[in-house]
């Protein structure tokens, strides 16, 4: 098994295959229609230009992926990023979520991000458990914030600090260009 950066052209179809089951009739994603392959490919390309998109590969098969993107647009939010992870059900609870998230957060921290957030439709024991295990703390719950799969859904926001917890008197450097793994990580 290895973790590497996604290649949009090569990996989009397999990632979309994993994602699609969480769009159709599932509250996990608030998207209502599975994106086309072209759209999903563009998403990977777009995210890769500013953040990071990693995949876990098992002997040539994509078993999961994790990425980060912008949290909010207003400039003072520029040190905050949002992360998401999807693992093929065949591979749940085998350490892939952790294996993707740990290097993802290291890259984001080196890039200059100071916090990473995750919005989780609850209940979702797996996602809440993973984020807690990686040091995320609960921020709060948006109650009945979205209607998906036949019901109002609550979204739990969790966050994790990246980098030093300092008391700067001037704004830190803005996040720079994406940082890349020097080579795939085997695990």
Residues binding ligand COA (CB under 6 A): 22, 28, 84-87, 92-98, 118, 120, 124-127, 129-130, 133
The residue among 141 and 164 lying less far from ligand COA, judged by its C-beta, is 141
The residue among 94 and 110 lying less far from ligand COA, judged by its C-beta, is 94
Q: How far is the CB of 9 from ligand COA (least distance, A)?
A: 24
Q: How far is the CB of 133 from ligand COA (least distance, A)?
A: 4
* Angle at the Cα of 30 from the Cα atoms of 16 and 175, rounded to 5 degrees: 75
Q: How far is the CB of 73 from ligand COA (least distance, A)?
A: 21
Nearest CA-CA partner of 105 in 81, 129, 74? 81
Q: How far is the CB of 119 from ligand COA (least distance, A)?
A: 7
End-to-end CA distance of the chain: 6
């Amino acid at each position: 098994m290895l973790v590497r950066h996604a290649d949009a052209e090569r990996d989009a179809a397999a990632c979309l295959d994993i994602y699609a089951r969480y769009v159709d009739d599932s509250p996990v994603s608030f998207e209502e229609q599975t994106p086309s392959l072209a759209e999903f490919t563009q998403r990977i390309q777009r995210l890769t230009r500013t953040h990071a998109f990693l995949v876990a590969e098992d002997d040539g098969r994509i078993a999961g992926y994790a990425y980060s993107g912008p949290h909010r647009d207003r400039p003072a939010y520029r040190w905050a990023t949002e992360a998401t992870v999807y693992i093929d059900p065949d591979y749940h609870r085998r350490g892939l979520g952790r294996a993707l998230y740990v290097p993802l957060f290291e890259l984001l921290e080196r890039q200059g991000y100071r916090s990473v957030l995750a919005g989780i439709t609850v209940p979702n024991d797996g996602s809440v458990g993973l984020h807690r295990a990686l040091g995320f703390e609960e921020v709060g719950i948006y109650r009945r914030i979205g209607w998906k799969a036949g019901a109002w859904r609550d979204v739990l926001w969790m966050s994790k600090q990246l980098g030093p917890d300092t008391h700067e008197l001037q704004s830190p450097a803005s996040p720079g260009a994406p940082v890349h793994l020097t080579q795939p990580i085997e695990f």
